[in-house]
Amino acid sequence: MTKHPIAILISGRGSNMRSLIDACAQPDYPARIALVLSNRPDAPGLETAREAGLNTVAIDHRPFGKDRAAHERAVNAALRDAGVEIVCLAGYMRVLTPYLVHAWQGRMLNIHPSLLPAFPGLHTHAAAIAAGASTHGCTVHLVTDGVDEGPILGQADVPVLKDDSPDTLAARVLSQEHVLYPAVLAQFCETLDTHQ
């Protein structure tokens, strides 16, 4: 079985990264982690990745100022150097320019905490409650130029309960994210295998 080399891009705590680390540790899982990359050198998830013995790199966006493309060129070089085949965004809090999106077209996945196309952007849990949604959830999709707009690869539903706050709902969605992302990535790898 081919273990496809992936990169996980994070900006924060990295709980979805953790679920991918655990999945990749299984001998029969079709991916391995070639790189964990963060735009924030102080992201707690970087420490988790280091403790797991993974190859990590921080490419701070701040020294690049407004030059998003220059930051992305550095990110892209690190991805290529590590021999990455698939990029998994997992709480990577940067809006990407067409440069990076096109460089990884069809090979870059993102997890978003809503049932897209409902509630793109930030604060999805508060938005779902405010809209009176009875069902909420999470989506793994391919990344395209439009934010949170690419083809959907998988979704998981959770009910919105009467007494939910954005935090209680977020926690219920997050536990589904941790199941959905590894499952969709495995399926995605298998699709690559059948088309190679």
Work out the angle at residue 98's Cα, subtended by the Cα atoms of residues 97 and 99, and round it to the nearest 5 degrees: 90
> What would the two tokens of residue 47 be?
């420490």
Name the DSSP letter for residue 107: S
14-53 residues near ligand GRF, rule: CB under 6 A: 14-17, 45
From 30, 177, 180, 186, residue interacting with ligand GRF (rule: CB under 6 A): 177
Under rule CB under 6 A, residue 111 binds ligand GRF? yes
Under rule CB under 6 A, residue 13 binds ligand GRF? yes
Please name which of 161, 45, 171 lies closest in space to residue 33, comparing C-alpha atoms: 45
Other Cβ atoms closer than 10 A to 181: 26
Under rule CB under 6 A, residue 158 binds ligand GRF? no
Other Cβ atoms closer than 10 A to 101: 17
Q: Are 114 and 139 in contact (CB under 8 A)?
A: yes
From 30, 113, 137, 182, residue interacting with ligand GRF (rule: CB under 6 A): 113
Q: What amino acid occupies position 70?
A: A
129-148 residues near ligand GRF, rule: CB under 6 A: 138
Under rule CB under 6 A, residue 112 binds ligand GRF? yes
Whether residue 178 lies in the annotated active site: no
From 30, 91, 137, 150, residue interacting with ligand GRF (rule: CB under 6 A): 91
Residues that bind ligand GRF (CB under 6 A): 10, 12-17, 45, 90-91, 111-113, 138, 174, 177
